[in-house]
Amino acid sequence: MFAFMENNSLREYTHGVVLAPMAGSTDSAFRRICRRMGATAVVTEMVAAAGLSRKSVKSHKLLRFHTEEKPIGVQLFGNRPGDFEGAAEMVSEMDFDFIDINAGCPVKKVVNSGSGSALLRNIPALAAVVRAVSSHTSLPVTVKIRLGWSPAEPVPDSLPAILADEGAAAIAVHGRFRSDMFAGEVRKSEIERIVQNSPVPVIANGDSRSVSDALDLMDATGASGLMIGRGALGNPWIFRGLVTGKPEDAFPLPEEVVSVIRQQYEMMSEYIPVNHLYHILRGQLLNYIRGFRGAAELRGRAVGVDCREDVSDILSELEELLNTERQRNL
C-alpha cells in the first residue's frame, strides 16, 4: 500500500506511514521495531530546543538513534526562535533526515511555557519559529499541529500557506483541538479543511487503532500520508498491515509477539543503564500485555520485573496465554 521511495526521505515521511513521536514511549528500540515492521519514517521523542542550546545532557540523550531507524526526524519544541536556531544548527550535523517542529503537544507543562499547542494561539510566533529553523538548516522542515486551541479558536485557513512560506515542507495534523486533549473522536472534516488549504503535503494523525481505522482516516481527509501514534504502542504490526494492505498482517502469532518484545528488550539493554532499564521496560511490557484473558493478572506481575529472569518468566506466560486465546478464537 505504501511504498518506499529510495533516497527520498521526505517523501517517505509525507507519503508513507510514520511512527508519531510520543514522549516516554518511542525510544530508539521501539522506533527500530516499527521500522522493521514497515514504518516508512520515524521521529524522535520531542526534544527541548532550549535544552540543546544549553547543552543539556538529558536533551542530548533523546537525540540518540541507530542507523536502522533512518529516515528519522528530530522533533523540537519550545517557543524562542533563538533556541531553535542553535538547535537546528546542532542537529543538522547529526545525520538526521528532517527536523520537525512541535506545535501540537497539549500537555499543561508544555503549553504553559508557550510551546506546543500554545503556538497555535500565536501564529506570528509559530511562523517565527519555522523561519528560525528553516534558515539555519539544509534539512527539510516539517510541523506537527492540532486543529487549533479549541473549536472556538481553530487554526486559520491561511496557516498552511503561512508555514510553507516560512519554509515548512510538510504538516502533520492531529485531528483534535488542544481543548480535546486525547478525548472524543478525531474530526476528519477539520483535517480535510487543512488538507484543502495546504500547498504542502499533509499527514493525518489520530485514533488509528487498526488498519481499517487508518485507511478510513486517509480516505476521509485526502491526506498524503498517515502518522500512527498510540495505535502502534504494543502493536507495531499495524505498520505491516498498512504496508501490505492486508489487515490480517496486523495480527501477529503469539511467538511473534514474544520475539518482538525480546528484541526490543535487548536493544534497550544496549543504551539504558541496568539501574534504569527495568523501570522503563515495565511501561513497554504493559503496552503489549492487554486485550486477552489473563492480561490483568500478568500486567500486575509485569510492573514488578526487576531482572532478566523476571522478563523471561513474563514472556513465557505471555506466549502461553496468547496461544490459549488464539485456540479459543479459532
105 is catalytic: yes
Res. 159 pLDDT band, cuts 50 70 90:
very high
Q: Residues 249-270: pLDDT tens digits?
A: 999 999 999 999 999 999 999 9
Instruction: Specify whether 93 is located in the same domain as 194.
Output: yes
If asked whether residues 313 and 174 sit together in one domain, one would say no
Q: Are 106 and 58 in contact (CB under 8 A)?
A: no
Residue 125: CB atoms within 10 A of its CB come to: 17
Considering 52, 62, 99, 105, which one is annotated as catalytic? 105
Phi, then psi, of 81 in degrees rounded to 5 = -55, -35
Number of domains in the chain: 2
Within a domain: 1: no
- Residue 4 inside a domain? The answer is no
User: Is 273 part of a structural domain of the chain?
Assistant: yes
pLDDT in tens, 162-208: 999 999 999 999 999 999 999 989 999 999 999 999 999 999 999 89
Residue 118 lies in a domain: yes
What's 21's DSSP letter?
P
**Domain's final residue, options 218, 250, 282:** 250
Average pLDDT over residues 291-317: 96
Check pLDDT > 60 for residue 123: yes
pTM score over 0.85: yes
Each residue's pLDDT tens digit, 80-93: 999 999 999 999 99
On whether the CB atoms of residues 314 and 305 are closer than 8 A, the answer is yes
The rounded distance, in Å, linking the Cα atoms of 172 and 224 is 10
Q: Tell me how far apart the alpha carbons of residues 115 and 80 are, in angstroms, rounded to a whole number.
A: 9
Q: Mark whether 93 and 178 lie in a shared domain.
A: yes
Name the pairing type of β-strands 17-19 and 225-228: parallel
Residue-range definition of the domain harbouring residue 280: 254-329
Is there a domain that residue 291 lies in? yes
- β-pair type (168-174, 141-146): parallel
